Amino acid sequence: MITISEADFDCGNEINQLQAGNTDDGAVVTFTGQVRQRNNDQDVAGLFLEHYPGMTEHALGKIIDQAREKWQINRVRVIHRIGQLYVGDNIVFVGVTSAHRGDAFAAAEFIMDYLKVDAPFWKKETTPQGDIWLDARKTDQDKATTW
C-alpha cells in the first residue's frame, strides 16, 4: 500500500496494520525517516516536499513490484509525506513483511534506496542562509546502483 500525504502518520499503527492477522510472516522490518536539524554542515529549520500526483504513486508501485520480483515478501507499506515539514517530523515510512528477515531487510533497504535517488519528489530545505533545493547524494546514488 502506498500513501502520499501532508498528514503525519503513527508508526505504531502502521506496524500493527502490517502484523494484523498475519501469521505467515516471521519478519516485520520498518524504517522511519525524519527531518534532521543539520544537513551538509548547516542548520535546517524545515523541509518542503513536492511531488507530481499520479506519477509518484505509479513510480512507487513499480519499485514495490521490483522488490516482489527479487525477494519473497508479503505486505508492503510505503508512506511519504509532502508539503511543509519541520525538524523532527516524520518524512517516510517503509514497512515490509516476509517469512524470513533477510528478504524483509533487503526489500526494505531496496525500496528506501529507490526513494532516495529515483522517486519523483522534490525537496527544498529551509536554512538560515536561505532555501536550498536538494539533489540525491552521491553516496545514495552509488548505493542504489548495487541493486
**pLDDT tier, 13 (very low <50, low <70, confident <90, very high otherwise):** very high
Residue with cell 524504517: 31
Burial class (CB in 10 A: 0-12, 13-18, 19+), 80: buried
How far is C-alpha 33 from the geometric centre of its chain's CA atoms? 7
pLDDT for the residue numbered 63: 94
Range with the largest mean pLDDT of 51-60, 92-101, 132-141: 92-101
The mean pLDDT value for 43-63 works out to 94
Sorted by where each starts, the structural domains of the chain and their CATH numbers stand as 2-144 (3.90.1170.40)
Distance between CA 4 and CA 115 in Å, rounded?
12
Mean of all residue pLDDT scores within the chain: 93
Residues 6+ apart with CB under 8 A from 92: 31, 32, 33, 78, 79, 80, 81, 112, 115
pLDDT for the residue numbered 62: 94
pLDDT for the residue numbered 134: 87
Percent of the chain with pLDDT over 90: 78
Nearest CA-CA partner of 140 in 121, 119, 120, 114: 114
pLDDT for the residue numbered 6: 95
Lowest-confidence pick of 20-24, 106-110, 140-144: 140-144
The larger pLDDT score, comparing residue 41 to residue 26, is at 26
115-126 tens-digit pLDDT: 988 889 999 999
- Transcribe 74-131 into DSSP letters: --EEEEEE-EEEETT-EEEEEEEEESSHHHHHHHHHHHHHHHHHTSSEEEEEEETTEE
Cell numbers given for 69? 520480483
